[in-house]
Chains A and B, each alone.
Chain A
Amino acid sequence: MNGTVGGTVGGTVGGRVLREDAWGKVLGQAAFPADVRREGQIYAVAVRSPHAHARIRGLKLDEARKAEGVVAVLTSADVPHNGHGVLYRDQPVLVQDHVRMAGDPVVLVGAETLAEARTAAGLVEVDYEVLPGLFDPEEAMKEGVPALHPEIHGSTNIVYHLPVCKGNVAKGWAEAEVTVERDYQTQMLDHAFLQPEAVLAYVDERGHLVVEVATQYAHYDRGEIAHALGLKFNQVRVKTVSVGGAFGGREDISLQIMAALMAWRTLRPVKMENTREESFHSHSKRHPMRMHYKTGATRAGKLTVLEARIVGDAGAYASWSPNILRKAAIHATGPYEIPNVRVDAYAVLTNNPYTGAMRGFGAAQPVLAYESQMDLLARELGLSPMELRLRNICRVGSETATGQVLTGSVGMEECLKAVKSYLGEVSAR
């Protein structure tokens, strides 16, 4: 890479110091959770629902229990406190009766070898009553639609709504001489970290449960494991090994509690390791968002008003959805001063894969909308995209749509000026 400004070679703060883990990673010495093992370990495999919405009528576990090498077959009945989640404990460790998304774990099989665990998992029979699913958030937010988590959110699937109101939008429209109105849509994304989830759990010589895992927050994992198993925090040790990418996809619990439960029940070290396919089915995704934007500006190129409606698909479990749609609402204007604003952001439960944290955390999706609007407005106004932005960006002392006054470091103008020469002559529009 070239063209960096600032920084010296070597030194401390401001220096181009080599990462402390660089050589270990380059030489293949770094231990990722898939690499750690322990004498006498068994393997656990989760049986996951292929259906997005179903009732479980019954389980047939005898064949699996009798299979070669099987040590234990566990169900929801074996989980002391069957729930986890960053905001609500709405996600079961093992589903008891209500499957809300494809990939929900139902049964956990532990066996001497991975092959035996997978074979036995294939012998588990789950009797599903498949239910009609909600797959469209606009549909799921309507009144009278069955609620997916009535015990937590009552009769609605809207887990969050935030209005952001500033100034007077009617006044803003009266002042607007140019209007651009569009619908935007972003897609569901996977974090696609290179290292699928893996975990090693065992009971140590003190009788404490140790969980070695790649996570973004060991202390959170410890709390959720302790809660689910009914242990004290000091009886659970979560130890982080090398993390092969995260990007938000390792914030929710994945295999940690299941592996810990199997280790606690069998007193054997337990290894779990997702295949890539299992990984896709088991961690959160980026919220697809539908965004309706209507932006007004004067002929002089000053933004006067924004009205926006943002609907995010939360999927089957809340995870961070309220925080993510809040962040979308707060960032919906982009880095621009707009005196009159009305934004409504909603997070809606469906039977799609659950969505949660991913790099950008709700501030990513609106970028498509607000920056497309800026280019479209610039065209309407006959201004360059650069010029329209320079006339509206936040500077020190600017007030955001939430009424926050930006008091300190606000480098938007410097960033714009730094890239100006790269726009070049090609960009007439």
Chain B
Amino acid sequence: MKKRGRGLGCAWYGTGYGNGFPDVSSAFVEIHDDGSVSVLTGAIDVGQGSSTIFAQIAAEELGIDPEEVTVISGDTDVTPDSGTSAATRHTYNTGNAVIKAVAQAKASLLTYAARALHCTTADGIELKDHKVRVKGEPSRSLPLAELVSKARLEGERFLGSDSYTARTTRVNPETGQGAPYWPYAFGSQVAEVEVDTETGNVQVLRVAAAHDLGKAINPLQAEGQIAGGIAQGVGFALLEEVRLSEGRIKNPTFSQYLIPTVLDMPEIRAILVEEPEGTGPYDAKGLGEPAMLPTIAAIVNAIDDAVGVRITSLPATPEKILAALAEQSKK
């Protein structure tokens, strides 16, 4: 018989290296003659989309399109050290470094623009829609490319290089007390599963996933992180296990080490919760790792809801579920 159940899982995740370790990201920025921009950072896009996030941030700061920003990353001859692509840290930490570096280049640009537009202060200048313009007097403006090109001919250069360091303290090794991580990300998921009581097989039908990421700089990528996280959560909860015999891996192939395929994937409803994080770039914090965490528990709790057995050892294989059902029927 096939029985359905729903389960809830919540999780939290302290982002960044944590524990007082200097978590530093750095970036170099140059604004070119035509108003396009290069951003150089050690932060590597490992598929999570960090380079696109940095391009969006620089573009927003300068009033241009993300396509006009080239992000050069992960080349030690060229880019500054920006730490590991890990710890859900690049959007927050390196994003902040990019903002700071862009702000430097932008500051000298605004100062030059104030003179060129006969405005008394750089604070009166804004960059919007590829234009440099006086706030409150939009007709007093120049195309960004024209202004930068003219300025460069006069010997001006618009460069930036800066670093951002996350806030963290070391925990006391005797008591664990301290403020090891900041910010924390939160998430909550509901999984609906169907358990086959004959075979013990579990199919995850639907997952609703709500994640607090501060601000979705790119909702498309955030949804991608959530989908990928749920896939890995399904693998963790139901399928994957490195099996050892005397320390040797018995299943070092994808025919024996099973990861979810598209057929194992549930229908996903991704809900992006934006609780602004004031220290983040545009109030953003990270999402990468947290996306998979609630899935594990939501599935295990849904199995219990469906068939009344509590799986405490992962993965929840058909064998374990059948054994638990057999145990249950004895009672």
Contacts and interface: CB of A to CB of B under 8 A. Distances in A.
Nearest to A357: B86
Interface string B280-316: 1011010011001110111011001100001011110
A389 B242 contact: no
Interface in A404-429: 404-406, 408-412, 414-416, 418-419, 422-424, 426-427, 429
A3 interface: yes
B196 interface: no
A394 B4 CA distance: 31
Contacts of A268: none
Interface stretch (A74-82, A112-120, A257-265, A330-338): A330-338
A7 B293 CA distance: 24
Contact of B176 (A21, A183, A343, A364): A343
A409 B212 contact: yes
A408 B270 CA distance: 23
B5 A216 contact: no
Contacts of A214: 46
A185 B247 contact: no
Contacts of A409: 183, 212, 214, 275-278, 280, 283, 285
A135 B246 contact: yes
B244 A352 contact: yes
Given A163-B174, A189-B236, A216-B44, A367 B83 contact: no
A1 B304 contact: no
B160 interface: no
Interface residues of A, number: 121
Contacts of A335: 10-12, 184, 186
B272 A4 contact: yes
A128 interface: no
Given A6-B274, A331-B13, A372 B310 contact: yes
B247 A101 contact: yes
Interface stretch (A33-41, A64-72, A89-97, A233-241): A233-241
Nearest to A100: B247
Contacts of B188: 412, 415-416, 418-419
Nearest to A426: B6
A189 B242 CA distance: 5
Interface in B182-215: 182-184, 186-190, 192, 206, 208-212, 214-215
Given A13-B56, A17-B56, A190-B240, A359 B289 contact: yes
A301 to B, nearest CB: 15
B35 interface: no
Contact of B244 (A18, A217, A247, A353): A353
A372 B297 CA distance: 7
Given A5-B272, A335-B186, A419-B208, A240 B249 contact: no
B247 A12 contact: no
A205 interface: no
A329 interface: yes
Contacts of A188: 241-242, 244
A19 B292 CA distance: 21
Contact of A15 (B5, B13, B56, B242): B56
B176 A280 contact: no
Contacts of A230: none
A52 B52 contact: no
Given A1-B227, A402-B176, A16 B246 contact: no
B244 A13 contact: no
B244 A14 contact: no
Nearest to A16: B220
A203 interface: no
Interface centre among A20, A233, A329, A331 (most CB of B within 10 A): A20
A327 interface: yes
Contact of B6 (A1, A248, A427): A427
A371 B9 contact: yes
A350 B188 CA distance: 35
B301 A184 contact: no
Nearest to B316: A368
A4 B271 contact: yes
A363 interface: yes
Contacts of A389: 8, 10
Interface centre among B42, B74, B227 (most CB of A within 10 A): B74
A267 interface: no
Nearest to B306: A426
Contact of A327 (B18, B210, B292): B18
Interface in B207-255: 208-212, 214-221, 223, 227, 229, 232, 235-236, 240-242, 244, 246-249, 252-254
Contacts of A244: 47
Given A1-B223, A402-B176, A404-B180, A192 B254 contact: yes
A330 B244 CA distance: 29
B181 A367 contact: no
11 contacts: A1-B269, A240-B73, A251-B84, A331-B13, A371-B9, A408-B279, A409-B278, A416-B10, A424-B6, A426-B6, A427-B5
Given A14-B218, A216-B86, A330-B171, 15 more contacts: A13-B60, A20-B66, A164-B177, A182-B312, A187-B242, A214-B46, A236-B76, A334-B10, A353-B242, A357-B86, A359-B289, A372-B301, A389-B8, A401-B176, A404-B178
Interface of A: 1-7, 12-21, 50, 52-53, 101-103, 133, 135, 162-166, 182-190, 192, 214-220, 222, 233, 236-240, 243-248, 250-251, 276-277, 280-281, 285, 323, 326-327, 329-331, 334-335, 343, 350-353, 357, 359-361, 363-364, 367-368, 370-372, 374-376, 385-386, 389, 393-394, 401-406, 408-412, 414-416, 418-419, 422-424, 426-427, 429
